[in-house]
A and B are shown apart, each in its own frame.
Chain A
Amino acid sequence: MLEELTAVFPILSCILFLPVVGAIVLWFVDDEDTVRSSTLTIALVELALSVFVLLRFVPESAAMQFAERVQWIPALGISYHLAVDGISVLFVGLTAFLTVLVVVYSWDTIRHQVKLYMMCLLALETTTMGVFLSLDLILFFVFWELMLIPSYFMIKLWGGGAERHYAALKFVIYTLLGSVFMLVGIALLDINYHQWASLHHSDHAYSFDLLELLTVPIPIGQQILIFWLMFLGFAFKAPVFPFHTWLPDALLEGPIGMAVVLAGLKLGTFGFIRFSIPLLPDASKSDTVVMVVVVLGLCAILYGAWMALVQSDFRRLLAYSSVSHLGFVVVGLFALNYQGLQGSLLTMINLGFSTAGLFFIAGFLYSRQQTTQLAAFGGMARQVPLLATFFLIIGLASIGLPGTNGFVGEFLILLGAFEAKWWVGSVAVLGVIFGAAYFLWYYERSMLGPLGSAVKSTMSDLQLREMVIAVSLSIMILWIGLYPSPFLRIMNGSVQALVDRLHQEKTAALDNSVTEGR
């Protein structure tokens, strides 16, 4: 049934191109209210399609589902290959969900050049979807790079800060620098495939297809080189400490909608679990690589949390807490065991709700006080009780309180880390404590206590649209926190397959060297 359906109806292509087609149609719409409502319609249809995919997705399976494959540039072995598996399917839903919320949020907070903003937002959705859906490395790279263009415009044109020009340029140049190295890595994978293919079945084919590249053994030296090249690409984007310096600038200067997408969707770490670890298993588990990456992850956890502790601006605090959370994800990924990988994957999804949620809260605060500086707040819980409540719920999810989604993910990561190396786990635990400290401290100073002198007395509580955002995020947070098994079931199959691949690959590589020795 499913095969028949996807054979006649390319649903992933629809998900991929619906937003950008919508953006083009918006070009011809003049009325601002029509622009807003049609963007919302497009985003909701996109969400419905994604939910449909999630519902029809066969859980506990490692298979690539809803696959679509067409040759794109045969001369270079580039194909148009889309599919979802347990690793990527949740991100598709998350992207669609967050985009709807961003559209709702931007309804009345974006006041100039509304049409262009909505077009940029929809274009950004397409490119993000493309990153999650692509199985061809060049197709992936295309979307990865394209994402920079709408992001650049969004930061520059609708950013609030005075330094936004600098922030936008820094963001583009940093990410581009990382991705050019990644492109070399991708090309090396292709050349390796070509050499192997011409040795073994004498057709001089090139391929960038993930599934085909997975079938080819790669010498360990080559693997390590490619790993570091791709690492740079993903690490700049993620961003992994010490490549993170663009993030606080971009998040602080850019518009809230942009910050939600940038901080909520963990594209860089997705790259690790999608491409680096499965394609380069021997490199990923070689001692030096694991050591360097895990130490970077631990540094990120501590450094991010520590920096967050001293920030007086809420958005900057969130940026550093993002760095810290990404450290957790990296540590979990490179524990390279079942719990670690599963925990990291779930945490990436969770951050999409909690970090993005806190950015929305920052946006709510910003639209009331025109700043997110701590000095402008204080004792606001009395004036805006609803805002304060949701701030607390989402914030507690972000520090991983049991009962919220953050707990499940972080717990699994710590479990995996302890299982891999006890000292990694024990350092990572420190990050949890710091995380609780910086959030609660900020919350206490902004929401509780005596009313701050700068707080306007006429401040209104959450509006309808803001309520929609806060409530839907809270529902997701509590759902994953209390009953995570549907989500875990979706990812189980793929994570298991990845773990199996990591552990059997050594023997396969040995066999290969034996055959080549003969």
Chain B
Amino acid sequence: MNFVLNLSFSDLLLLLPEIFLTCWLCVVITVDFVSPRLPKERLAYLSVGGLLATLGCLAWFDVNQVSGTLFGNMFVLDRMAIFFKIFILGSTTLVILASIEYVDRFTLFRGEYYALVVMSALGMMFMASANDLLSVFVSLEFSTLGFYILVSYLRDDLASNEAGLKFFILGVFAAGLFAYGISLVYGETGKLVFSDMASAPATPGLIIGFLLIFAALGFKIGAVPFHSWIPDTYHGAPTPVTAFLSIAPKGAALAILLRIFIVALGTFKPTWIYLLVVVSIVSMTYGNIVAIAQRNIKRLLAYSGIAQIGNVLIGLAAGTKMGNDAILFYLLAYLFANIGAFAVVIAVSQAIGRDEIEDYRGLGRRSPFLAFSMLLFLLSLAGVPPLAGFIGKLYIFIAAIKEGLYTLITVGLINIVISMYYYLIVVKQMYINEPIDPSPISIRGHMKAVIYVGLAGTLVIGIYPQPFTDWVVAATLMFANFVTPAATITPPTLLIGS
């Protein structure tokens, strides 16, 4: 491959969101450095401002259908990349808003916290655009680096340190697997860009290489059997970081998985479908069954997240355009419900100082707003109509039934029933049990804003999903060519650049 850097100004426009956010990141660090007496809250608002501006820019890209590739196909900006970037930045914004109070618990480096969050988001934006194995590797490590620090941010807390260490060791191990996988794939095909690999014959080396890459990405999304870090890390990490970790990296890694499985490996669908079916079934069942036994709400949400990823993989296993639409839609529903649920967890832990499920006793009396929001978020995660989660599950199941994946669907549906059981355990604590300490819980404005956004998303997507289905259908339009059994590859339409 020929790495001749030949950039024009219009090419750089494709990178505008990333460049802008990088500059903004520097501004945030500098402001923190220059005026250390500035309330850290201001830094949060500053970061949110930058993120919102970037979101605006991405929305403009999406409306005007800006697309193109850079650096010899390493970086691609298409509507799916834009979708995932909006997804990542949206969750980052909400996470920053939800962490403003929590940051007071950190003993040191409160200002850098926001910079690190934005930095991880930046890494994930590159992941959404990564179109070859090297850029995937670099951007993946870039974003994970920020998370290594964030997870162990509570310096004096043993659990947080343990979480950081576990996350780091397993993360580095996954990175090693990934690098090894890349070397095998490159050795077999001589190609790094996904779309170039599409016609490669299936040699044992290539298969092992892709399995290693799948394992590394499975680690990022937390699918069984690569989930072992999730419960302890989610439990120990500062709660806003847990919320961040449970949403944004999963979205970014799914963007890569979609590109690999549909673009690079689309022709091998009859083979990889078994892998995905097994991983999906095991993730759903394991996540849901183990969640029943949890006593800590963060661990419960961790296991429920594993199960939710199992659901998402159903859509990937379907391997059709509709399956991909369903994944994107499901992620949207998951974003709002999960961020909302974690916001409630943060608000409760600010008031009570603990995260055990039994601490939610009588929350319905102490704060009707928090309890009702939590109820809706949990019901959406469980897939109760007419909330967003229901439409998401329906979308995924229809896509899978169309492909005749009946076993997968049956397991998925039984898992809905299992998941309802443990979500109801939390509901029971909130509404049925009497509170021990009946004092009301107060919530601050930005926390309320996050919960309101979560509620609005959960309800609007559930009741009026049409604009969102239109959006995801448009976002995966590029896959329309790859899903037919005889995959014919046409490059995406280029408006700007190359």
Contacts and interface: CB of A to CB of B under 8 A. Distances in A.
A134 to B, nearest CB: 12
B379 A142 contact: no
B421 A169 contact: yes
A138 B473 CA distance: 20
A176 B420 contact: yes
A187 interface: yes
B424 interface: yes
B431 interface: yes
Interface residues of A, number: 34
Contact of B432 (A76, A142, A148, A165): A165
Interface in A44-86: 71-76
B367 interface: no
B484 to A, nearest CB: 14
A146 B385 contact: yes
Nearest to A169: B424
A375 interface: no
Nearest to B465: A73
A183 B385 contact: no
B397 A75 contact: no
Contact of B470 (A71, A75, A157): A75
Interface residues of B, number: 32
B414 A180 contact: yes
Contacts of B410: 184
Interface in B186-223: none
A429 B473 CA distance: 58
A145 B466 contact: no
A471 interface: no
A184 B412 CA distance: 11
A206 B409 CA distance: 19
B428 A165 contact: yes
Interface stretch (A188-196, A214-222, A295-303, A442-450): A188-196
Interface in B313-355: 325
B413 A183 contact: yes
A479 interface: no
A191 B402 contact: yes
Contacts of A75: 325, 466, 469-470, 473
Contacts of B464: 72
Interface stretch (B121-129, B290-298, B388-396): B388-396
Contacts of B466: 71-75
B391 A73 contact: yes
Nearest to B391: A73
A187 B398 contact: yes
A146 B386 contact: yes
Contacts of A153: 431
Contacts of B402: 191, 194
A143 B384 CA distance: 10
A194 B473 CA distance: 18
A224 B229 CA distance: 45
A181 interface: yes
B469 A142 contact: no
A172 interface: yes
B401 interface: yes
Contacts of B420: 172-173, 176
A187 B314 CA distance: 15
B402 to A, nearest CB: 6
A156 interface: yes
Interface in A127-145: 138, 141-143, 145
Interface in A174-204: 176-177, 180-181, 183-184, 187-188, 190-191, 194
B497 to A, nearest CB: 31
A152 interface: yes
B321 to A, nearest CB: 11
Contact of A156 (B416, B431, B465, B470): B431
A444 to B, nearest CB: 40
Contacts of A146: 384-386
A149 interface: yes
Given A187-B397, A188-B401, A191-B398, A172 B470 contact: no
Contacts of A76: 394-395, 398, 469
Contact of A73 (B401, B409, B414, B469): B469
A180 B398 contact: no
A71 B325 CA distance: 19
A148 B385 CA distance: 11
Contacts of B390: 142, 145
A158 B384 CA distance: 23
B275 interface: no
Contacts of A183: 394, 397, 413
Contact of A191 (B401, B417, B424, B469): B401
B474 to A, nearest CB: 11
A515 to B, nearest CB: 24
Contact of A145 (B325, B385, B401, B406): B385
Contacts of A142: 385-386, 390
Contacts of A74: 466, 469
Nearest to A157: B432
Contacts of A72: 464, 466
B424 A172 contact: yes
Interface in A311-358: none
Interface in B362-411: 379, 384-386, 390-391, 394-395, 397-398, 401-402, 406, 409-410
A74 B466 CA distance: 7
Which of B390, B394, B397, B410 has the most chain A CB atoms closer than 10 A to its own CB? B394
Contacts of A138: 394
A196 to B, nearest CB: 14
B395 A157 contact: no
A184 B432 contact: no
Interface in A227-277: none
A127 to B, nearest CB: 10
Contacts of B473: 75
B31 to A, nearest CB: 44
Given A76-B394, A152-B424, A180 B401 contact: no
Contacts of A194: 402
**What are the 3 A-B residue pairs with the smallest beta carbon separation, nearest first?**
A142-B385, A180-B413, A75-B469
Interface of A: 71-76, 138, 141-143, 145-146, 148-149, 152-153, 156-157, 165, 169, 172-173, 176-177, 180-181, 183-184, 187-188, 190-191, 194, 206
Interface of B: 325, 379, 384-386, 390-391, 394-395, 397-398, 401-402, 406, 409-410, 413-414, 416-417, 420-421, 424, 428, 431-432, 464-466, 469-470, 473
8 contacts: A76-B394, A143-B385, A157-B431, A173-B417, A173-B421, A176-B416, A181-B413, A184-B406
Given A142-B385, A177-B417, 17 more contacts: A73-B465, A74-B466, A75-B473, A142-B386, A145-B384, A145-B385, A149-B379, A153-B431, A157-B431, A157-B432, A165-B428, A176-B417, A180-B413, A183-B394, A183-B413, A187-B397, A190-B398
